[in-house]
Amino acid sequence: MIIAIDGPAASGKGTLGRRLADHLGLAHLDTGLLYRAVACALIDRKTALSDIAAATHAAETLTPEQLADPRLRGAAMGEFASVISAYQPVRDALLAFQHQFARQQPGAVLDGRDIGTVVCPDADVKLFITAAPEERARRRHLELQNRGENTAYDTILSDILRRDGRDMTRSTAPLKAAADALTLDTTHLDAEAAFKAALALVAARTGKTDLAS
Ligand code: CDP
């Protein structure tokens, strides 16, 4: 079974994806980490983010070990990732990695921006996770504080809005819900409630009603 989860910045896709994967015994890939790792490789090599050839090379030579770097979760890396993720050759280079991950048995949960539309158009279930920008900024603010990063709430909110704008308007694999995606607005749901609601959608879409119990 393949579950595709897409949605805007800090919508809780990663937390939800991990919980669904654990519950269903599936593997989980936060595809945002791939783009963050490519950006991080460029920063480490002191290479400009505008260097498409270097970004493509970093994507082609990416190893799974690079995804464990705690620096990837920082606010700055999300911004840098959004810049290099607009390059078509970078996206193409990361596609094989994602396809291979999705093909494993008994299945996988992948979360990102274009999973239901480009990476796994045949996924068994497609979820599009949204939440009001202010609520997403509140959650990201808390998450960054817990990491020891003291970015102001207003800065986080404007970063999120700018990044969403860039992700939705880029010409290659823009952020959007697939036509057959089920949308879940988590503005008023905590992580547990969002997990239960998502599980109910998976059960309904697959016809496996026992999954939700
Ligand atoms: O955790 P958050 O939602 O803030 O970001 P992320 O999922 O780690 O993604 C970081 C950036 O990578 C996004 O703003 C997108 O520009 C890009 N991305 C993408 O283009 N396609 C994906 N499948 C995943 C992430």
158 alpha carbon to ligand 1 midpoint, in Å? Answer: 16
Output the residue whose Cα is nearest ligand 1's atom 9: 32
Residue 126 lies in a domain: yes
204 alpha carbon to ligand 1 midpoint, in Å? Answer: 28
- Overall number of domains in the chain: 1
User: Ligand 1 atom closest to Cα of 6?
Assistant: 23
84 alpha carbon to ligand 1 midpoint, in Å? Answer: 10
User: Ligand 1 atom closest to Cα of 98?
Assistant: 23
Residue 97 lies in a domain: yes
Q: Distance between CA 209 and CA 213 in Å, rounded? A: 8
Output the residue whose Cα is nearest ligand 1's atom 21: 113
Residue 208 lies in a domain: no
Q: Distance between CA 53 and CA 41 in Å, rounded? A: 13
Full-model pTM: 0.95
pLDDT for 213 equals: 65
Residue 209 lies in a domain: no
pLDDT for 211 equals: 79
> At residue 126, what are phi and psi to the nearest 5 degrees?
-120, 125
Beta carbon of 16 within 6 Å of any ligand 1 atom: no
Residue 45 lies in a domain: yes
Beta carbon of 163 within 6 Å of any ligand 1 atom: yes
Residue 8 lies in a domain: yes
Beta carbon of 28 within 6 Å of any ligand 1 atom: no
The CATH number of whichever domain residue 49 belongs to comes to 3.40.50.300
pLDDT for 209 equals: 78
| Ligand 1 pocket test target in 29, 73, 167, 175 with most atoms within 8 Å of CB | 167
Beta carbon of 82 within 6 Å of any ligand 1 atom: yes
- CA angle (113 as vertex; 148, 75 as ends), nearest 5: 15
Q: Distance between CA 211 and CA 146 in Å, rounded? A: 33
pLDDT for 82 equals: 93
pLDDT tens digits for range 50-79: 999 999 999 999 999 999 999 999 989 999
pLDDT for 86 equals: 95
Residue 212 lies in a domain: no
User: Ligand 1 atom closest to Cα of 72?
Assistant: 8
pLDDT for 156 equals: 96
pLDDT for 210 equals: 81
Residue 207 lies in a domain: no
User: Ligand 1 atom closest to Cα of 77?
Assistant: 10
Q: Contact 3/109 with Cβ under 8 angstroms?
A: yes
53 alpha carbon to ligand 1 midpoint, in Å? Answer: 20
Residue 210: HSE in the Cβ half-sphere, 13 Å Cα cutoff: 0
pLDDT for 158 equals: 96
88 alpha carbon to ligand 1 midpoint, in Å? Answer: 15
Question: Domain range for residue 155?
Answer: 2-202
Question: Which ranges of the chain have pLDDT less than 50?
Answer: none
